[in-house]
Amino acid sequence: MSTTQTERPFISVGIAVLTVSDTRTLADDRSGDTLVARIADAGHRLIDRAIVPDDKDRIRAQVEAWTLSADIDVVITTGGTGFTGRDVTPEALEPLFEKRMDGFSEVFHRISYDKIGTSTIQSRATGGVANATFIFVLPGSPGACKDAWDGILKAQLDYRHMPCNFVEIMPRLDEHLRRG
């Protein structure tokens, strides 16, 4: 059973949000706005936010640059996880993953199934780690962003969440690079 240990301190993490869309702007990016509001409400730091078109090279370049920033611990993308010809976010980002997080997709789909039923299979939400940075690839709807944040990320990005969380392992994500 998961719990929050209030005697542990809250540790704010740096997060970047990328919206992948050929049509969205900051003025009408409801999914990005949903994530930004939840990040702030949780007490984390929004380090950067961008919108890029559905282009594999541009998606990969933006996320890879963020993974090289010492200020960014987590990258969350929204959009481009479907099956149409322009949906290329998983193809752009999965090659960056040093480790894949299969459980993220599985839990996301379980949560999503409870809300939208079998339509959840139309998403290729995924997650992984690259350059000691967590990357979460979400569908482009505000509802999917709410489900992922409220159902998974809010707890896993809280150091007080037990029995385990992502924050406590962040210092060790690159230990394979530090071995002689």
Q: What is the CATH number of the domain that holds 59?
A: 3.40.980.10
- Per-residue confidence band for 158, with pLDDT thresholds at 50, 70 and 90: very high
Q: Is 45 helix (H, G, I), strand (E, B) or coil?
A: strand
pLDDT in tens, 29-40: 999 999 999 999
- Per-residue confidence band for 3, with pLDDT thresholds at 50, 70 and 90: confident
Query: Domain range for residue 46?
Result: 9-167
Q: Can you give the pLDDT at residue 176?
A: 75
How much is the mean pLDDT over the chain?
96
Residue 48 lies in a domain: yes
Give dist(CA 29, CA 115) in Å, integer: 22
Residue 174 lies in a domain: no
Residue 97, pLDDT > 90, answer yes
Residue 39 lies in a domain: yes
State percent of the chain over pLDDT 70: 98
Residue 172 lies in a domain: no
Residue 108, pLDDT > 60, answer yes
Residue 68 lies in a domain: yes
Residue 3 lies in a domain: no
pLDDT in tens, 116-154: 999 999 999 999 999 999 999 999 999 999 999 999 999
Residue 42 lies in a domain: yes
Residue 146 near residue 34 (C-beta atoms within 8 A): yes
Residue 178 lies in a domain: no
R_g of the chain computed on alpha carbons: 16
Instruction: Say if residue 142 is exposed, middle or buried (CB neighbours under 10 Å; 0-12, 13-18, 19+).
Output: middle
State percent of the chain over pLDDT 90: 92
Residue 56 near residue 26 (C-beta atoms within 8 A): no
Q: Cβ–Cβ contacts within 10 Å for residue 24, how many? A: 19
**Which tokens in the block code for residue 11?**
């540790």
pLDDT in tens, 21-61: 999 999 999 999 999 999 999 999 999 999 999 999 999 99
- Per-residue confidence band for 174, with pLDDT thresholds at 50, 70 and 90: confident
Q: What is the mean pLDDT of residues 157-171?
A: 96
Specify the number of domains making up the chain.
1
Question: Residue 19 is which amino acid?
Answer: T
